[in-house]
């Protein structure tokens, strides 16, 4: 099969594929530095050769080979300081060995053993270790780039003069996260090196079917940032280039693209094989093997001789065997349900803060939210608020109006229109010691950041013990004539995701206290704020900082006839309609927190009244009410005098017209359902 190198976007000419044309520029490298780099380059190669044997023996379950690409990982990690964060991908084993991660822990990770970094909960390189300043990937490839933005932002805010380096591949560049992360880094002048490993394929799909531009360096001018291209198989070229770039952006923080031209000599992962790659490519790139070429260079330079090479190889192999021996001897993790559940969240025992003084004033719902953000910003100097138009404009609902003057633009940050990158940036801030509040301009727009929430924020502590100190504010709900894309109640989308906490207050006092509590908690929150209540509801609440207990429902009214379990705007519908029906006596239970929801309070009211109606604004099918109704039926059946009832919005999108919207919402159907249940 004839080979068309243009189709693979290979930036090296044919002559450069011959080993004689891989020119190593020694420059100021000492003999010892060259030897150290050789040892670092050889380690991942020898580990990989062993892993491929173990894979065939069934002793590990999967392997993503980086053979042929080691020079990029090794050159990058050796160019950074050990306390500078690096975010690798599948083929960056050299990053882990270069940060001196103990072999026995690496091998335990590959085998799902407890002394690995995820206690058997995730595989291969899907983990991080703060001790070694490494943040691993998730399978979705692109989202880790935004985490690098957040880590770099934290460094910039502290004026640490540190660099963050993140890897991605030519295939992953097609994801929206790639664009979002580069754009945010460019707009905010973040000190991030984006290393793009261009190996010509996204799994089996060649570059010509992935993108139309010639080189990734062409993207630099479009983002307004510097972009350079290197021979990714030339260890010294990678190392010296990244060293120079890192020195530059430590002094003058700015992002940079580094495109590393390379090739992988094995399949995407071992099960996929390599039949989709022309043999001519393997033959040509085999001549550019980074280990063989660098070794020959050192032999020519008389930095090493054959005897020293063999001694180094044997030493590394011995360390590998010793690490494997320890990992193989370790037992598999015990499956303890209590531990699995408790490890969803970073340990946090809430202390409920009461106001220091009796001073109170009337505040609208919107003012209570603003008050909480203001006081939490003063309480936590490492707290950053991010979102579209939240700075001078104050957000579309004016909640952060005046905050720039008080806290500065470095902490109140306008963002590009890119929900995924900003949520990921919030997580990166958390990894690097900050707190983050991210505003979704409307809760509907969270769809564009869904992956970051359900796969990064929610899972990161369970996977490798990293907390996500991020609150995502969600202006939500209908009743304001905003139509299908600005009115959705989407809390149920996240209710099914372990690892998140979800709060949905119904009044100004709870809104302020629960938002303060959410920011205080070092775990990920979705904080729903009903837009209809922003300026239509006011109450006299404490002026001082205080918190409300998370996970605790509130009994709004007490009665004997029926229990109405609800939250958000449903609380006000229930109060209004109960007051209009003569002779009714009802418990109205405001859940306030949806994850975790207060099962004890629900059980107490059910046992008291023996009739239950669950009300929520979200659509009926698959709503939170279904879970609560099922739980009541399973756990309180003997206390029921009637079937558990539910009322909710129609199973349609939210319409714009006021008449259609009123019909969509459950208020009037709730009135009818309530009377029917009372008469049952």
The answer, yes or no, to whether the previous bond of 596 is cis (omega within 30 of 0) is: yes
Distance CA 75, CA 157 (A): 28
**134: DSSP letter:** B
Does 410 participate in catalysis according to the annotation?
no
Distance CA 203, CA 169 (A): 10
Considering Cα of 111, then 117, then 123, then 128, what sign does the dihedral take? negative
Is 426:438 a contact under the CB 8 Å cutoff? Answer: yes
Distance CA 224, CA 55 (A): 44
Burial classification of residue 332, based on how many CB atoms lie within 10 Å of its CB (0-12 exposed, 13-18 middle, 19 or more buried) = exposed
What's the helix, strand, coil split of the chain in %, to 5? 45, 15, 40
| Bridge partner list, 619 | 649
Cα end-to-end distance, the chain, whole Å: 78
Report helix, strand or coil for 360.
strand
Structure tokens at 252: 């003058």
Structure tokens at 215: 């080189």
For 350-497, strand residue ranges (E) read 360-364, 383-387, 412-414, 435-439, 470-476
Distance CA 107, CA 23 (A): 35
DSSP conformation letters of 174-235: GSHHHHHHHHHHHHHT--EEEEEEE-SEETTEEGGGT--SS-GGGHHHHHTSEEEEEETT-H
Report helix, strand or coil for 283.
helix
Distance CA 313, CA 335 (A): 39
Report helix, strand or coil for 527.
strand
Distance CA 427, CA 155 (A): 14
Distance CA 337, CA 381 (A): 37
Measuring CA to CA, which residue among 527, 491, 483 is closest to residue 657?
Answer: 483
| Bridge partner list, 383 | 435
The pair phi, psi for residue 74, each rounded to 5°, is: -65, -45
Which of 90, 126, 239, 486 is labelled catalytic? Answer: 486
Residue 643's alpha-carbon distances to 143, 168, 577, 586, in angstroms, are 45, 54, 21, 17
Residue 492's alpha-carbon distances to 353, 568, 594, in angstroms, are 29, 13, 9
Which residue, chain included where needed, has tokens 């190593």? 24
**347: DSSP letter:** -
The pair phi, psi for residue 286, each rounded to 5°, is: -60, -30
Cβ-based neighbour number of residue 135 at 10 Å = 27
Which residue, chain included where needed, has tokens 């530095």? 33
Distance CA 10, CA 344 (A): 44
The distance from CA 235 to its chain's CA centroid, rounded to whole angstroms, is: 31
Question: Whats the size of the chain, residue-wise?
Answer: 680
Structure tokens at 660: 């259609």
Q: Buried b / exposed e across 339-353, counting CB within 10 Å, b at 16+?
A: eeeebebbeeeeeeb
Catalytic residue IDs: 486
């Amino acid at each position: 099969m004839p080979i068309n190198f243009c189709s693979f976007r290979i930036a090296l000419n044919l002559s450069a594929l011959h080993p004689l044309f891989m020119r190593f520029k020694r420059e100021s490298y000492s003999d010892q530095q060259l030897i150290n780099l050789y040892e670092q380059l050889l380690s991942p190669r020898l580990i990989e050769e062993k892993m491929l044997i173990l894979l065939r023996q069934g002793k590990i379950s999967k392997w993503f080979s980086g053979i042929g690409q080691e020079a990029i990982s090794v050159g990058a990690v050796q160019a950074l300081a050990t306390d500078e964060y690096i975010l690798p991908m599948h083929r960056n084993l050299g990053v882990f060995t270069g940060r001196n991660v103990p072999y026995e822990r690496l091998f335990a990770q590959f085998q799902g053993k407890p002394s690995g970094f995820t206690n058997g909960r995730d595989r291969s390189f899907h983990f991080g270790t703060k001790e070694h300043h490494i943040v691993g990937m998730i399978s979705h490839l692109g989202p880790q780039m935004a985490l690098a933005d957040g880590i770099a932002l934290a460094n910039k805010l502290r004026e640490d003069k540190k660099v963050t380096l993140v890897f991605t591949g030519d295939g992953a560049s097609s994801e929206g996260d790639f664009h979002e992360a580069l754009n945010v880094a460019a707009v905010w002048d973040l000190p991030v090196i984006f290393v793009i490993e261009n190996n010509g394929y996204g799994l089996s799909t060649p570059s010509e079917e992935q993108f139309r531009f010639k080189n990734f360096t062409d993207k630099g001018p479009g983002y307004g940032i510097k972009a350079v291209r290197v021979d990714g198989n030339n260890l010294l070229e990678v190392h010296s280039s990244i060293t120079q770039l890192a020195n530059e952006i430590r002094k003058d923080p700015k992002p940079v693209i580094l495109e590393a031209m390379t090739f992988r000599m094995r399949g995407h992962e071992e099960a996929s094989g390599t039949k989709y790659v022309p043999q001519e490519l393997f033959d040509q790139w085999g001549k550019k093997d980074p280990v063989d070429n660098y070794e020959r260079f050192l032999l020519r330079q008389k930095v090493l001789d054959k005897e020293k090479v063999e001694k180094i190889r044997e030493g590394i192999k011995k360390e590998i065997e010793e690490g494997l021996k320890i990992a193989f001897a370790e037992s598999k993790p015990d499956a303890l349900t209590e531990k699995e559940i408790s490890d969803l969240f970073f340990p946090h025992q809430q202390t409920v803060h009461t106001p220091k003084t009796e001073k109170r004033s009337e505040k609208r719902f919107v003012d209570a939210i603003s008050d909480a953000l203001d006081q939490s910003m003063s309480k936590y100097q490492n707290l950053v608020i991010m979102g579209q138009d939240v700075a001078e404009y104050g957000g579309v609902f004016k909640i952060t109006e005046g905050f720039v003057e008080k806290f500065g633009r470095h902490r109140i940050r306008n963002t590009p229109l890119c929900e995924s990158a900003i949520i990921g940036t919030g997580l990166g801030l958390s990894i690097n010691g900050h707190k983050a509040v991210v505003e979704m301009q409307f809760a509907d727009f969270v769809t564009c950041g869904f992956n970051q929430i359900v796969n990064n924020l929610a899972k990161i502590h369970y996977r490798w013990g990293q907390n996500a100190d991020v609150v995502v504010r969600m202006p939500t709900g209908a009743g304001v004539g905003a139509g299908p894309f600005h009115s959705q109640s989407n809390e149920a989308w996240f209710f099914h995701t372990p690892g998140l906490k979800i709060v949905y207050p119904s009044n100004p006092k709870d809104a302020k206290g629960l938002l303060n509590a959410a920011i205080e908690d070092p775990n990920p929150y979705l904080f729903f704020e009903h837009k209809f209540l922003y300026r239509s509801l006011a109450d006299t609440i404490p002026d001082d900082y205080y918190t409300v207990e998370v996970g605790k429902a509130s009994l709004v009214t007490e009665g004997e006839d029926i229990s109405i379990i609800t939250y958000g705007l449903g609380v006000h519908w229930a109060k209004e309609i109960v007051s209009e029906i003569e002779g009714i006596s009802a418990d109205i239970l405001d859940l306030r927190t949806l994850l975790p929801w207060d099962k004890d309070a629900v059980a107490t009211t059910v046992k008291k009244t023996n009739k239950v109606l669950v009300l929520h604004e979200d659509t009926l099918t698959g709503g939170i009410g279904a879970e609560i109704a099922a739980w009541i039926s399973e756990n309180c059946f003997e206390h029921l005098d009637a079937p558990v009832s539910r009322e909710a919005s129609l199973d349609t999108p939210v319409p714009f017209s006021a008449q259609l919207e009123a019909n969509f919402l459950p208020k009037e159907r709730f009135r009818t359902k309530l009377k029917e249940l009372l008469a049952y």
